[in-house]
Every structure is written in C-alpha cells, then in structure tokens.
Amino acid sequence: CWSELEGYPCCPPGLTEVYAQDLYGDWSYDYKNNEWCGLTLLEEPIHDKECWSEEFGYPCCKGCKVYEEDSDGSWGYELNQWCGIQSFCKK
C-alpha cells in the first residue's frame, strides 16, 4: 500500500471516506485504531517469489518503510528484527 511508504497503514476494507488529500493520495481516518490510513483502489501487492534478504539470514518485510540502504538492498525493521524491502515497494 502506498501509505506504508509514509509510515501509515492502508485503510481497512469498507473505510472509504476521504478526510484529506496530498501529493501521495487520499487519506482517511481509522477511528477504531485511532490512526490515519491511506485509501487505495489498488489490489494488495504481489510479494516476491524469492526473498533476497533470506540469503543473509533475514526475512522479507511485509511493509515498505526503509530504515537503511546498503549495496545489497533496502532494509526495514519489523517484529524486532531487520528485514529486506520487497520489490513491490519500489514501484
């Protein structure tokens, strides 16, 4: 989801009201979780068939928030461990 690049989750199904717009897209507010979320008409991303970071002992990330980049790729941090950013995040 595009909003994960900005550190916010995608809105859950059924949440469609637009409260704000910016250059990234349409934003809504998830009152159940008390947080902003990104509205998208896109389908869920297709995860990479092979996770590039597994050869280094780390899983692939589910999200797209990048914390570090090196010659191997982009790295995120989820569930108290480093993880490799998947290719769908770069689109």
Secondary structure (DSSP) of the chain = -GGGGGT-PBPPTT-----EEETTEEEEEETTTTEEEEE--SPPPPPPSS-GGGGGT-PBPSS----EE-SS-EEEEETTEEEEPPGGGG-
User: Domain 52-90 carries which CATH code?
Assistant: 3.90.1220
Which residue do the tokens 């469609």 mark?
Answer: 16
Say whether pTM exceeds 0.75: no
What are the pLDDT digits (tens) for 25-84? 889 999 999 999 999 865 556 678 889 999 999 999 988 889 999 999 999 999 899 999
- Where does the chain hold its CATH 3.90.1220 domain(s)? 52-90
